[in-house]
Structure 1
Amino acid sequence: MRVLVTGGAGYIGSFVVRHLLGQGHEARVLDNLSTGTGRAVPDVPLDVVDIRDADKVEAVLAAFSPEAVIHLAALKSSAESVRSPHLYYDVNVTGTAGMLRAALQHGVERFVFSSSCAVYGSPQICPVDERTAPCPQSPYGETKLTGERMLGWYARSAGMRYASLRYFNVAGAASDASLGEFTSESTSQLVPRVIDSALRGTNLEIYGTDYPTGDGTALRDYIHVEDLAAAHVQVLERLNSAEVCGEYNLGTGRPVSVQEVVEAIERRSGLPVPRQPRPRRAGDPMVSWADPALAHRVFGWSPERDFDEIVRSAWLWHTSGEQRQA
């Protein structure tokens, strides 16, 4: 298939592009490079376009005529969304609506949407499955849920097949350190933040150490970025009927605490990570881990890599020459 990947020069998007190419698909990337880099996708055409620029989006679709869209372009920090909700509604809702409109106008047959476990908020029962009623606790989660609902209405109106993939916490890198997350000091992702603190000897801020969990820190479900990317391609290829359209969790079903993440990276690196406890942040759930059984039943997808591999590959990437040149 010809597949347009929005946000394809970002962390997750670049792995999705690599998997698409590996499966023989033709890919093109649309990205404004606000967080992505062309270095992550050297082998595909890259259009530096913001998804809110309707005319330029229209021109890209007219030139490429994609059969499918994988839509990852979005803002993604719960904490930032609480401070600046207008930005999240502008990019994640207005931008997604424009992309959907253009996709329908150009006859796109399949649409895979990057959603988030943030649509669940703080679930009362974990692992959480897709029958759980969404209850976002941040503008970020709310905008992702709105994107899911828009996609359903738009797609059903034109017979376009679709899936919304609710990611849990994505981490890790290619096993050979050939690709990973090109981070900055402002990254909100925990694993690269811990690694950075280990390397620099700087304090790691831990938001919430008084949760009613085993060690007082929040519990999350960490999925390897390679497994997540493979899921996108597998779902895309198997969107063969209206019956499989819908929302799907992508996680491992195994919770890991913030404290356990820190300790795992200390073991891998042999370096101490100084901690600085901070108050809980608005919009952060206490616990969140997935029941990913539905994606397995419908699409045959299951994660193959464990948390140790996430830490091993992330450490290798973030200490590699490639990442240091970022």
Structure 2
Amino acid sequence: MRSVVLLLSMSMLCILSSTIYFQTLYGQNHKTIINSAISANLTESTVENSIPPQSTSSSSDKLKVVSSFYPIYEFVKKVGGDKIDSLVLIPTGLEPHDFEPTINQIQAANSADALVFNGLGFETWIDKINTKNKIDASNSINASYIDNRTKSFDPHIWLDPVFAKKETENIRDGLIKIDPNNRDYYSQNAKIFINELDTLDKTIRADLKSCKKHDFVAFHNAFSYFAKRYGLNQHTITTTGPEEEIKPQRLVEIIQLAKNLGLHVIYSEELIDPRYALAVAQEIPDAKVLVLSPIEGLTKDEQSKGIGYVDKMNENIQNLKQGLECSQ
């Protein structure tokens, strides 16, 4: 086993030679080495619709609603439509797990009419913000999944379309409470989006019905609720969060697991450097790396194309079908 770890460590040195603190491609207050090209992309891709550096007054009669991060931001826009001014606290190109808001961002959020957040401990900084109204999108959702092996908690309820429907309903109810004059408008918008989520749920069930395999290796523990909903088994490269430094011993364990399960697809994420997933895949015959997105943000290219939550979920399903060997 030592010799295997040593060989893998040497391989990892080649793969990760350009990275010191291998964490995420994008970051604010992250321990990340970002090259100039990525930094330029980050600057351009995270400005639009993100919260302004300083709180600004507005003569608009619309509600000013700040969402904690994507996809909550999209859910809020779907429900609020043109009755709200919608901003996102964590720019959509940033990986949000170890994000910390700046003083200016906190001040800007405090001036909003409402702050909408995912809850379940995902936004560890939420108590730093004292806006007039806070809408917890996870309210009344029975989501308490803890991985028995790692004892890690999964707050990624938005990846389960059924839970995403409940989050949408909570956002609808929160906006109606603040702005009752537009009750019918918010209710109708929520109904339209909930119908989209119902269709997504049915599509996933149909597409995954014919799969030969039921196990998959994701990058981090984001798909617990999704896996439980659709009868799958999630395994992860990192045992806690995407900001964790992964040791060679853990990669050896995942490589052996994937071989034992006969898996030939290893999943990475679009906001995470794929080198760890590549290191695993190169030790498995005929293996490849595909993206299985936790939908915690959008790349610049995705933003420019108008890609949204349902699009990203459908992309996930197409990539999962390859790894699970489903009928096309």
* Length-normalised TM-score, structure 2: 0.31
Q: Considering only CA atoms, is the larger Rg found in Structure 1 or Structure 2?
A: 2
TM-score by length of 1: 0.31
